[in-house]
Structure 1
Amino acid sequence: MGSNLESAIAVLNGFLGDYLRRTTNGLETTMQLVREGRPVPLAAALPADAAASATPRVVVLVHGLMSTEGVWTMPDGETYGSRLARDLGYTPLYVRYNSGLRVSENGEVLDGLLEELVRRYPVPVEELAIIGHSMGGLVARSAAHAASDKGRRWLPLLKRAFYLGTPHLGAPLERVGSVVTWALGRIDNPYTKLIADIANLRSSGIKDLAYANLRREDWEGADADALLQNRRHPVPLLPHVRHHFIAGALTADPRLSLLFGDAVVSLRSATGRAVARDRCSPFPQEHVRIMPALGHLRLARDPGVYAQIRAWCEEAA
């Protein structure tokens, strides 16, 4: 499948993914691990070529909304995964998934996928790391929460988590979109109501970004017509994991950076600087890096971001 078609399907899944699931549409993307552009089947032992190159250190990369694993590709054709393989001996695997589903639904599936990976892996896994871009970081945190009371094998192996432009406190753009859609739907005009109906078609995954919902309890039973209702439940960072946060800033001016962030996610949200209204505890700030003049998508494929990831890996080791 060509990369343009894959990208188009990823956008479709991101915007209408829950509808594709409900209608059993063949264009829905099923969550899977990918290596060198090919799915890695876990129903049996890993393919011979994957098994031959397997190392005890595994890094799993999780893309964001409306993306595929292609988002990680840098101008030289490498990815953070391929560089970690060359520099530090990690085996990289990439998650491809339907980003229009609820974050908690994708988290539950990722939990099962990682457990199966550890069980089927050809050598004992000694260390697992996860790199999540944008929504991918929320899916990773949701997976850890889903695994926390199940006695999973993969969770104690998780040593490092990297969150790149992840909206831990929610995305203001989605909250603004919710307000606009709500207002348009209440204007007694067929055209504005039509626009509101079309806007409301956006997926549950997108709506979850408003307040960074990670658990089923955050959305089950909620009033679909309620405006700006933050129902999120706490999901503490796992204490045995080293959590690293990289945020983008469009400008080096600290005041403008605080206001605009990477143009999609604010600095406060990307670094977890929570206050009481966020219904979340503030994140520790010792492993935070703000990258000036770097937009949201660039966070997934920038040499400077990779240099920071590698430095943290080496520091932790």
Structure 2
Amino acid sequence: MDHRPQRTAPFQRVGIPLRALLLALVVAVIPVAALAASNGQGNGQGNGQSASQGGAAATVKGITVALSPSSRTVDQGQSATFTVSATSTGGFTGPVTFAVTGLPAGATASAAPSSVNLTSGSTAQTTLTVLTSPTTPVAKTDFTVKGTGGTTVSNAAFGQLQVLEVKRTFGVTGSVNGLLAPGVSRSVDLQISNPQNKGIAVTNLSVEITQVVRTSAAVAANLPCTTADYQLTQYSGPYPLTVEPGTRSLSGLGVAQAKWPQIKMLDTNKLQDGCKGATLQLTYTGTGQAN
């Protein structure tokens, strides 16, 4: 029996395949990592192409509208002007009309020209005039302007209109031409005084008998005379009456005497001796609009 130790050669032969196996594993790992990197790069390129394609999409055609100035202040019955600018975006071309919404009661809007024609990338302007009336409410009001071209509608351009109350005064006086007697009418040539530095347009005039002042003798004798003994016919001439600064009379304004206010003393069955020498106190009122 041989007691010599065994050789280790078999172990060396086994070691060779292990190293080969390790090398094989290393080689296998490298392609996987490279594939992962390649896949990551490929995804990045794919996303970039998608974004690029999205950016190259067709731009929507449109209209952009702007209003200048953004606000105006006017007196009742006056007008304010704005400039409306319409700009083509995205290659829009064609005529554009304008619409205004939100104006206060009694106010109207008009554009001159009523429409503009846009070429691609161009800007055109129109003048918007907002006209108020004497009855337009005193307030600040927001409104909008839009442009329309075919089926294309612009953004809403916002504006504000502030309407102020007209606080201008004028005076009205008058005198009766001649004496009154039962059954006799006398006309009243009204005098209109305009202290302003601008003309006014008078739109209403009226006269009222506020008191009959009897003589002291009539009072002592207890002779009656009242407003019931008289009849008033109001002014029937044309309106408005344009009164420049200064004082103007109805006759000076060219109003026919038959249209002036008329005062008539009635001829009644009652005793009217108390009206002899009596003085009538008249009150005049009028309204108008500053020009």
Range into which the TM-score falls when normalised by the shorter chain: under 0.3
* Max Rg structure: 2
The higher-RCO structure (CA 8 Å, 6+ apart) is 1
Q: TM-score normalised to the size of structure 2?
A: 0.18
